[in-house]
Amino acid sequence: MYPGTHAASTPNKPAVIVADTGKSLSYKELDDASRQLAVALHDLGLRRGDVVAMLSDNALECFVLYWAALRSGLYLTAINFHLTADEAAYIVADSDAKVLISAADVGELAADVRELNPQVAHAFSFGGHVQGHGSFDDLLASAGDRRLDAQPRGSDMLYSSGTTGRPKGIKPPLPTIDVDQPGDPLTGMAGKLFGINDSDIYLSPAPIYHAAPLRWCGVVHAYGGTVVLLNRFKAEAALAAIEKYRITIVQMVPTMFVRMLQLDAGVRESFDVSSVRLAIHAAAPCPPDVKQAMIDWWGPILVEYYSSTESNGITVISTQEWLTKRGSVGRSMLGPVHICDDDGTELPPSATGLVYFEREQLPFTYHKAPEKTRESQHPAHPTWTTVGDIGYVDDDGYLFLTDRQSFMIISGGVNIYPREVEDALTLHPAVFDVAVIGVPDPALGQEVKAVVKVRDGVDETDDLAQELIAHALTKVAKFKAPKSVDFVSELPRTPTGKLVKRLLTEQYG
């Protein structure tokens, strides 16, 4: 299904609402505008497999672009508007985008990106004029009442967040179905596992240039539900939106859970969250103490999944399962899991190694980077792919993640996974945010350092540093505990809450 299905049955139902402003887009408006844009892009010469670049904040028009691409066999490349002009321009150029469509709200950046990409044939802006861009409204109007003869399903082609280096374009093969035909695995899984339907109201608090927010909003549209967008996540604003719009499904990352739990208990309890039937979380492993606190607050409605922008596989775990498999990210729902050592040898249950998902066909390539694609493939099984996560599978088939391969600390020849130490410190009452990294040590190679942002009103003292080290020692082995603590005013995180640990390791390296 797609918005056109619901435009026929419930034309005036809101497809999207922006919580901050109350602006909305009905299913009829979404269907009409995405149809017009698909026609207009075809008139500009775009054909199946071509790329449209989108540079915008969380705006209603983003879904017009998304569904126009999905109903005309195009790729949509959504760009992080927090990037510098050079960084964003690189993605536009690397993606081979033929059209750039920008929001006036990020107009200064968009104008710079356009100037840096003269090879892009066409650029348009919505919400106001942007230098170097034509009118998006005029572009839509040029289509009139026409529609394309065929509606082959397109896809997104998103870029990695760059937490470990230069962003990579993640290019899935285009589906061999039309937009209104079943066959999209995420849409099918969402209906089967999560029961998403046309009565659901879904809160999306993260930037929709990222994979999970964009794709899950699309899934909700496929089933005829309503998406409520936040311009940016703030703990109280998210809770207020849940109460105001009677949200039934919310998707968050663990950092958002932490920020809500850090609110005063009286503030948290003042909001009615009883309408929420499903709280999905992903993007990063959730510290067990944080997840338990959320279960205690919201009840057994948390469902965690593990996947990636590459969508090479998916695991899922319910609250009930997690309470018996604490710390797991679930069993595979898409692609059997294999744990392998650095040479590709498959390891037995409970042994730690690289996490591979097996698929019948290669599920993605890295755009114009065949060497990076090869690095992600198993040496003997080319349709087994990894994104660099380390973990193990227990005897019952449940996957447990330990950390990213690139984040592992080797101290005195022993492997230490920073995430375990971060989990130990996250809910300490003095800690607002924490990252654990390895720093050079002349004797051991590396030693463990905690980099901490304290909560408001907490003094950054040597005594607190020792208290945090002692607290970690109550939860992890001595060789894993931090040997030192540094206090900082801010940790480098993406807007979705992912820690850009590369910047810290470069700073301390």
408-508: which CATH number, 2.60.40.4070, 3.10.105.10, 3.30.300.30, 3.40.50.1110?
3.30.300.30
Domain spanning 182-334 has what CATH number? 3.40.50.12780
pLDDT tens per residue across span 346-372: 999 999 999 999 999 999 999 999 999
The residues, any chain, with a CB within 8 Å of residue 30's CB and separated by 6 or more, are 3, 7, 15, 16, 63, 64, 67, 221
pLDDT score for 263: 96
- CB contact at 8 A, 499 and 437: no
Query: Given this chain, do its domains 25-171 and 182-334 carry the same CATH topology?
Result: yes
pLDDT averaged over every residue in the chain: 93
On whether the pTM is more than 0.75, the answer is: yes
Superfamily of domain 336-403: Luciferase; Domain 3 (2.30.38.10)
pLDDT band, very low/low/confident/very high, at 165 (cuts 50, 70, 90): low
Three-state DSSP class for residue 32: helix
How many other C-beta atoms can be found within 10 angstroms of the C-beta atom of residue 129? 12
What band does 99 get if pLDDT is binned at 50, 70 and 90? very high
Secondary structure of residue 399 in the 3-state scheme: strand
pLDDT at 164 over 60: no
The answer to whether 418 and 407 have CB atoms below 8 angstroms apart is yes
Query: pLDDT exceeding 70 applies to what percent of the chain?
Result: 98
Tell me: pLDDT of 56 over 90.
yes
Residue 154 confidence (pLDDT) above 60: yes
The residue ranges of every structural domain in the chain are 25-171, 182-334, 336-403, 408-508
Q: How far apart are CA 66 and CA 74, in angstroms?
A: 10
Mean pLDDT of 329-350: 96
pLDDT of the residue at 305: 95
Element (H, E) at 392: strand 389-393
Share of the chain above pLDDT 90, in %: 81
For residue range 122-145, what is the model confidence (pLDDT) as tens digits?
999 999 999 999 999 999 999 999
User: What mean pLDDT do residues 49-65 have?
Assistant: 98
DSSP 178: B
Question: Could you tell me the pLDDT band of residue 163, with boundaries at 50, 70 and 90?
Answer: very low
Nearest 5°: phi and psi at 380?
-110, -20
pLDDT of the residue at 499: 82
Residue 306 · residue 330 · CB < 8 Å: yes
| pLDDT score at 74 | 98
Please tell me the predicted confidence (pLDDT) of residue 333.
95
Confidence at residue 509, expressed as pLDDT on a 0 to 100 scale? 73
Q: Are 2 and 38 in contact (CB under 8 A)?
A: no
Residue where the block lists tokens 């005309």? 72
The type of residue at 198 is: D
Condensed to tens digits (0 to 9), the pLDDT of residues 226-268 reads 999 999 999 999 999 999 999 999 999 888 999 999 999 999 9
Region 448-473 average pLDDT? 96
Residue 503 is predicted with a pLDDT of 85
Residue 443: pLDDT band (50, 70, 90) is confident
pLDDT score of 161: 63
Q: 125 in the Ramachandran plot: left (φ > 0), alpha (ψ -120 to 50) or beta? A: beta
Say what the pLDDT of residue 162 is.
Answer: 52
Token pair for residue 12? 């005036």
- Strands of 72-193, DSSP E: 75-79, 99-103, 122-126, 134-135, 155-156, 158-159, 169-171
Fold for 25-171, please state it. Answer: Rossmann fold (3.40.50)
Q: How would you class 104 by CB atoms within 10 Å of its CB: exposed for 0-12, middle for 13-18, buried for 19 or more?
A: middle
Contacts of 387 (CB under 8 A, 6+ apart): 308, 310, 312, 355, 376
